[in-house]
Amino acid sequence: MAAIIHTLFVTRAGDGRTRSMMPAYSAQFFSFVTGSSTIHFPGRDSCTSSDLTLNAPMLRAAPMVMQGPVLNVGASFTPLGWATFSGLPADEVHDTAFGAETVMPRALLTPLHAALAEIRADRLSPEDYARAVEDMIRQVCAQSAHQPRGAHAVLVGAINDWLSSGFNPPIERLYDSTDLSPRQVQRLCRRYFGVPPGQLLKRFRAIRAAMLLAHDNLPSEMRNEVIGAYFDQAHLIRDIRRYTGQTPKALTQSGLVQDMLDPDGHGDTGPDLRPK
């Protein structure tokens, strides 16, 4: 499933309202066992979760309010996973959320709703319910009529390799790694990631900077590398705020946003960022 999802997750929050920020994430599947969330997408409509919700790829951070008590079980999609599961181009549906029944076959909705009833009745653990979510995603993708073309999958892999090759890799490195023209690369990058390569790198660089700066024990040489990738501190703060909704200083405080920026939840570009 590594080609389809970055991670499965369980989110909990207590009674009442919890206000936070949703970082500029890849697409996600949410299943609210209890509680709900409302995401206020900048410049777009606000969306309140249903039992089974799809959160399309996000291009910037958005305010989020969770009404507790919350138990949310879900999955974070890779770009290829989202394309296969939904058949929806990221540049057309970004920064929005909608009911999973919009794209899911009815035959697969029924067993997942049955599993949801089981966990609500305390006859199923969150971990076992997560496995049911994973199995549903596997089946939807196996039956999907939206399998990405081989050349598209190769390019998405090349983009991921480029993003993982350094903190601020030159865009020429990406163009040199493929036989496609720069215009084709830009078009397909929009389709699978929502934006062309230059803007994609800007978002990933800010998210990775936020992941690193959230650690109090970050080695000084790594901190200097992060800061050196920006023109000045104002540039750093502006980009991190745009894509995480927080300032670098706020990221050092414990909370939901810091939990969501755990490197293990961000695929191939994440785990190598954890300070030793």
Contact at 8 Å (CB) between 97 and 32? Answer: no
Considering 99, 126, 143, which residue would you say is the last residue of a domain?
A: 143
List CB contacts of 2: < 8 A, sequence separation 6 or more.
78
Based on the fold, state whether residues 132 and 64 are members of the same structural domain: yes
Based on the fold, state whether residues 127 and 155 are members of the same structural domain: no
List CB contacts of 124: < 8 A, sequence separation 6 or more.
115, 118, 132
Considering 102, 127, 143, which residue would you say is the last residue of a domain?
A: 143
Closest-CA residue to 227 (of 217, 213, 242): 213
CA atoms within a 13 Å half-sphere pointing along the CA-CB vector of 250: 12
Based on the fold, state whether residues 120 and 184 are members of the same structural domain: no
Based on the fold, state whether residues 154 and 179 are members of the same structural domain: yes
Based on the fold, state whether residues 107 and 202 are members of the same structural domain: no
Count of structural domains, the chain: 2
Per-residue pLDDT of 50-91, as tens digits, reads: 999 999 999 999 999 999 999 999 999 999 999 999 999 999
Instruction: Return the CATH number at 83.
Output: 2.60.120
Based on the fold, state whether residues 57 and 159 are members of the same structural domain: no
Residue 3 to residues 39, 120, 170, 221, 243: CA-CA distances in angstroms?
A: 27, 30, 25, 33, 24
- 253: confidence class by pLDDT, cuts 50, 70, 90: low
Paired strand residues for 264: none
Closest-CA residue to 233 (of 241, 222, 243): 241
Based on the fold, state whether residues 101 and 135 are members of the same structural domain: yes
Q: What is the pLDDT of residue 6?
A: 92
Based on the fold, state whether residues 10 and 127 are members of the same structural domain: yes
Check pLDDT > 70 for residue 258: no
Q: What is the pLDDT of residue 274?
A: 47
Instruction: Return the CATH number at 185.
Output: 1.10.10.60
Based on the fold, state whether residues 109 and 182 are members of the same structural domain: no
Per-residue pLDDT of 202-251, as tens digits, reads: 999 898 888 777 776 767 777 777 777 777 788 888 898 999 888 777 77
Based on the fold, state whether residues 242 and 269 are members of the same structural domain: yes
Mean pLDDT estimate for the chain: 88
Per-residue pLDDT of 120-140, as tens digits, reads: 999 999 999 999 999 999 999
Q: What is the pLDDT of residue 212?
A: 79
Based on the fold, state whether residues 203 and 241 are members of the same structural domain: yes
Check pLDDT > 90 for residue 111: yes
Based on the fold, state whether residues 86 and 110 are members of the same structural domain: yes
Q: What is the pLDDT of residue 227?
A: 75
Note down the domain range covering 200.
150-273
Considering 143, 175, 195, which residue would you say is the last residue of a domain?
A: 143
